[in-house]
Structure 1
Amino acid sequence: MNSSANFLPLLDSLHTLLRDYPIHADMCSIEVNVETSERPAVLVQLAETDLTTTARGLLEWQRTLAEGDIFASRTTDGMTLHLGVSGHLDTDNTLVEVWGEAPYDEPLIGAGLQPGERVSLPFEELAVWAVGLVGR
């Protein structure tokens, strides 16, 4: 049974994070999951937007996480790019995964990512997308 005692520590951690590191990226959902196999996790979805805005939002979140990993995946229909960062909070080791999506645009992103594929993404590539230098 998952009572409020299971959720309160995660909500406190999230509150502290958002207080100490204000996030300006538009979010559309925050899910707190206490039933994960490893340890509780916080899943954040950014509002759907363009590639530059999504990348900026992810970089903003990435600065708050320890041992962050950046990833990109393309939906199986090839139409959408999912970008994300995952890591944990230094304060209590809470897992956090943040993701957003943008339309897949081959001239901007390149043809290397195949439909259904997920890859690690270098910080530098996400940073280039965040400043809008793609496709130039």
Structure 2
Amino acid sequence: MMVYTTVNLGKYWEVILFMLCSSYRNQRSPRSPGIETLHLDDPLFWAIAGADVVDYKTKQDFSLRYSTIPQVRQIEDALAPITFDDLRPFADPDAMRRAGVYRSGIYANSSRDEKVITRILSRLKTHYRNAVENGQIMIHEWM
């Protein structure tokens, strides 16, 4: 049986991507937090954008990407321990603006933003945990 579920990240998708990728970079190089480039080999990047491109003609747009079952496991393993407190050091609206985060204007590092990001992070974790339990791949569609 095929199960189709979605997680709507809304306007926060790029904010979450910035925070997750900043967290990954900081783990690898604590002296330079933040992102200069996206780490396409990072399971936390894959959680939002997908691991592989379906159509190389659309590679720059990230319009249709997917994650295989082993990649979904890696994503779930990477996401599982993360809390908003882990991401808090990267919740800097000014750093987001400097990095060109498209939706940074919606993020003000307020308690409301923290609740929204925490809720989305929880949904992502559940989504990937269920996919691992059911042996499912992920299709990442950008609309």
Higher strand content, 1 or 2 = 1
What interval of TM-score do these two structures reach, taking the shorter chain for normalisation? under 0.3
Higher helix content, 1 or 2 = 2
Larger radius of gyration: 1
Q: Structure 2-normalised TM-score?
A: 0.27
Q: Structure 1-normalised TM-score?
A: 0.28
Structure with greater contact order relative to length (CA < 8 Å, sep ≥ 6): 2
